[in-house]
Amino acid sequence: MPPSLTSLPKLLDREVREKNLRLLGWRAKELAWSMIRPAMPDPVFVIGCSRSGTTVTFETIAASGHFLHFDYEIPQFWNALHGPLTNGWESEAADAKDARPEHRDRALAHFYARLGAGPVLDKTCINTLRVGYLHALFPHAKFVFIQRDGRDNVSSMIDGWRLGRSDGGFGLDQFFGPSPVPVAINAGEFREWHFFLPPGWRDYNRASLEEVCAYQWLTANRLALDAARTIPAQQWIRLRYEDIFEHPVEMFREAFERLEVPFDAHMEMRCASLAERPTSIVKGTPMKQKWKEHNPAAVERILPLIAPLMREMGYDPDD
C-alpha cells in the first residue's frame, strides 16, 4: 500500500492532528524567536539529587505565579543538546566546556515557543549534574539547590528504583534505548539505570542497588557543590529538605526574597502546611529519618561511603 494511504488513518486521528498542529505552532514560534530575539531573562533552575525534595521546592516557588514553567521535567530536551546519545554514553553530566552559543539559543527558543517571553522556572533533576554548563549558557541564572540527608535520600532512591512512580517508572531505556554495555545491578534485578546516568556509571553496572544509589547521591551533590564555587553567591540559593519540617515558612521566605519574588500571606499559609502535604510520588508522605523504617540495613551498609560528604553538607551520620 502506498505510504500516503498507510498514513491516512493517522492523519484522520484527532489527537495526531492536534499534536502535529502543536508541533507546527512551536516551530513557527521558534523561528519567530530567532528573527525578533525578544528580551528574556535567564532562567531559575531548581536542582538537587533525585528524591531530595526538588518537586516540593519547585511547586512552592511555581505557586507564586511569578514564573513561566512546565509542569514536568524536560531531560529529553537538555540531553538533546548534550547527553549520552551525543557524548558517547559518557553520562548525563555537562560542564562549561560543553556549552555552545547555539545551545543557549535553542533553549530560549524552546521556552519562548511553549511558555512565552517571561521569567522561566525549570526543574529537571539531571541539571544537578550540569551547573557549570548552565552557568556558562546563562551567566545571570539563579540556582535553587536543595539537599537532603544522604541516608534518607539513598533510601528514597532505593524505593524509587523498585517501585517506580504513580505515572510510570524512572528507567532510562525509554529515553536512550538499551545500554551499550550489559547492566546487571543487584545481581541482575535491574537491567537498566534509573533516575540519571552519572559519570563513571559503567563501574557500577554489577554493584548492589544501595551502592548504586549511594554513588548517584554522592555524584550529584559533589558535582553541584563543586560547580557552586564558580557561581556568584547571590545566584546560588541553598536549601535543606529537613527545614520543610522544622521551619518551612522561614526557609521559603528567604528563598523568595533572594529570588526577588513577593512572599505574601497565601504563600506563608501554603508553606506552613508543607510537612503535611503528600508530596512523595514514590512512597507515602515525607518525613525525617524515614530510612529507619525503609531499607535500614541497606543504608547502614553504605553509610561509610556517604558519611564524609554528609558531614561536609552539615549532617551528622551518627545521629
CATH of the domain at 281: 3.40.50.300
CB 144 within 8 Å of CB 61: yes
- pLDDT tens track of the chain, all 319 residues? 444 555 555 555 777 778 788 889 889 999 998 999 998 999 999 999 999 999 999 999 999 999 999 999 999 999 999 999 999 999 999 999 999 999 999 999 999 999 999 999 999 999 999 999 999 999 999 999 999 999 999 999 999 999 986 566 899 999 999 999 999 999 999 999 999 999 999 999 999 999 999 999 999 999 999 999 999 999 999 999 999 989 999 999 999 999 999 999 999 999 999 877 655 544 556 666 788 888 999 999 999 999 999 999 999 999 8
Q: Are strands 142-147 and 236-240 parallel, antiparallel or unpaired?
A: parallel
For residue 205, tell me if it sits in a domain: yes
Whole-model pTM over 0.85? yes
Cα separation, 273 vs 11, whole angstroms: 48
Are the C-beta atoms of residues 275 and 244 closer than 8 Å to each other?
yes
Whether 3 maps to a domain, the answer reads no
| Domain enclosing residue 55, as ranges | 38-312
Residue 29 lies in a domain: no
Q: Does residue 22 lie within any of the structural domains?
A: no
Element (H, E) at 239: strand 236-240
Would 12 be classed as within a structural domain? Answer: no
* Contact assessment for residue 313 and residue 224, using Cβ atoms and an 8 Å cutoff: no
| Residues 48 and 145 sit within 8 Å (Cβ to Cβ) | yes
What is the tally of structural domains in the chain? 1
Flag whether 31 is in a domain.
Answer: no
